[in-house]
Chains A and B, each alone.
Chain A
Amino acid sequence: MSAPTETPAAAVKPSPMSSLKRFVAKPSGALSLAALVVFALTGLIGPLFVDKPGGLGTDILQPPSAEHWFGTDDLGQDVLAQVIWGTRISLTVGVAASAIAIVIGTALGLLGAYVKRADTWVTMVTDLMLSLPLLPLMIIVTAMVGPSVTTLTFVIGLFSWPEVTRLIRSNGMVVVAMPYIDGARALGATGWRIVTRDVLPAVVPLIVVSVLLTAAKAVISEAGLSFLGLGDPDSWSWGRIMLNAQRSGVISTAWWQTLFPSLAILLLVLSATVAGVRFNDSRDPRLKDR
């Protein structure tokens, strides 16, 4: 047996500070993180400064101006206010749905990786879920349950876990095959202990990346479903702004009404994805220039 050459950094447990520093050392990390922070702050405290859009205004279909930065819609409501309030809902649905998907996905992935007998079933169900046409299914389920923020969150979360399962399972299997797992078994460690103390910590970095990517996808799904009229009619979301533009027939003339929510979606998804990739790179000891 030859000893595997191991970069010392591979096994160093980086302190939280130093790994954050490394993460933002590259512009992609700093910019994506900054964008995510701006979105989070907008969603959290933005609505405190801007009134919830509603009622009828006098300035109808105004293009962007000093008074209405993002213009107004056919009811005279401020699009900027809609986008800010929409940020809150879009982010909430994205984060909550991603949390559901991560919990289910990680649990099933670890189960498949460690318990051989369960693996066949986990793989089968995962493949089945991945092969389903998701959008039509989400539409059917949401329509049957009745549109609300909670429904959207659960529907998106419950349909997003298979990719997480697949990722965690395949990487968990690599860890389960390591000799130190045998060592723990020989000591008498229970399966639960091995999975939570040895396998789970090894896949945590992947979970972080998955959270970001799944949340980005959940935001897109939320916007898509809202645009199709399956969003919560009582709360603003980016998809609903675009739906309103489409319904009122101004989608081709009032470009500002669709451009700004679309830009918000694009920016959020892009920064979440870039942050995920950057996180992965910043932890990869094989990359010299990380």
Chain B
Amino acid sequence: MAERETVLEVDSLVRYFPIRTGLLQRHSGDVRALDGVSFTLGRGETLGIVGESGCGKSTLARTVVGLDKPTSGSVRYRGTDVHRASGSALRKLRRRVQIVLQDPYTSLNPRKTVRDLLTEPFEIHRDVLPGPKRLPRVKELMDLVGLNPDHLDRYPFQFSGGQRQRIGIARALALEPEVVVCDEPVSALDVSVQAQVVNLLRRLQRELGLSYLFIAHDLSVVRHISDRVAVMYLGKAVELGDRRDVYDRPGHPYTRALLEAVPIPEPDGRDTRRRTLLSGDPPSPVDPPSGCRFRTRCPKAQSLCAETEPLLRIGSAPASEVACHFPEGIPSSRGT
């Protein structure tokens, strides 16, 4: 992997949601949505984040763009701490780090026309473009995401889901960001439309040099768009590496199980395919298992897994890191 300039640095990000019970709102526990996630994002790179529902993907997205505050840890965009910035530094950050939200049906204000929706970023950041130049820029944005600029005065409901997501993307791109966090941008769309939107995102990346943090639960979508992939389980990254390594030589048993659960279109070889079926549901993030969080469902779990928590480290492929005592493809002597 070529060395890239780092634009976004996420350092042991932790987000606990306190549970308060009773009349006095006593603090009785935490939902550990994020429990120490670290990664870096290079310029022009796409980092895919996959994981089951409830593993903390969306909390990660919200925290990275500053919609949510972390319990500890930090997110730095080119050295600026996203959660400590204020005033003009924060305004600048808002322009450079943007988010595409999940559901295009609820992420656009139904009472505003496309014109209002796309002009809004410039009204919030008045210094970016002088008034008369805004309309041409809005039309240019419509063009950029493949929408007809003549439809400026339509309301969101007059568009299809895919078109609405294009509006959402245009809105995120209006201020010329460098990092775009895509929080499941296609999961609410039909499969045929998903491909269009993913290809649009790829084209925009090439043209504008964007870095994506692409969050999804669909492994094939992530494979299609990502350079590197992080697999999350219960608030932790269990595997992080080059896309090819993670997909072809998964190091973590969980990654392997996820990949084996992906349906394959060809009937040939379906019967001979090796599949590890995971039993049960993910444990509660309020009270995660001791040691390795995956051990309760892991086919390879041993007593060591309950005692010591495995940390992310170089696994079977040199470019990927795995948090497992007994990673796939390596003799089990590694656990210490």
Contact = CB atoms under 8 A, between A and B. Distances in A.
Contacts of A180: 101, 106-109
B46 interface: no
A108 B26 CA distance: 28
Contacts of B32: none
- Classify chain B: how many residues form its interface, as a range: 20 to 34
Contacts of A134: none
B105 A6 contact: yes
B123 to A, nearest CB: 8
B111 interface: yes
B166 to A, nearest CB: 14
Contact of A179 (B94, B102, B161, B171): B102
A11 B111 contact: yes
A4 B105 CA distance: 7
Interface residues of A, number: 25
A9 to B, nearest CB: 9
B106 A4 contact: yes
B102 A187 contact: no
A144 interface: no
A183 B171 contact: yes
A187 B105 contact: no
B200 interface: no
B102 A183 contact: no
Contacts of B175: 187
A184 B125 CA distance: 12
Contacts of B94: 186-188
B115 to A, nearest CB: 13
Contacts of B66: 186
B90 interface: yes
B106 to A, nearest CB: 5
Nearest to B188: A1
A3 B188 contact: yes
B51 interface: no
B99 A10 contact: no
A183 B110 contact: no
A182 interface: yes
Interface in B144-199: 155-158, 161, 168, 171, 175, 187-188
B101 A8 contact: no
Nearest to A175: B109
A239 B167 CA distance: 58
B19 interface: no
B45 to A, nearest CB: 21
Contacts of B206: none
Given A4-B105, A183-B171, A187-B171, A11 B188 contact: no
Nearest to A6: B157
Given A178-B106, A182-B99, A190-B124, 13 more contacts: A3-B103, A3-B188, A4-B106, A8-B157, A10-B110, A12-B155, A13-B111, A179-B101, A182-B107, A186-B94, A187-B120, A188-B125, A189-B124
18 contacts: A1-B103, A3-B103, A3-B161, A6-B157, A11-B155, A11-B156, A11-B157, A13-B111, A13-B155, A179-B106, A180-B107, A182-B62, A183-B168, A183-B171, A187-B121, A188-B94, A189-B124, A190-B124
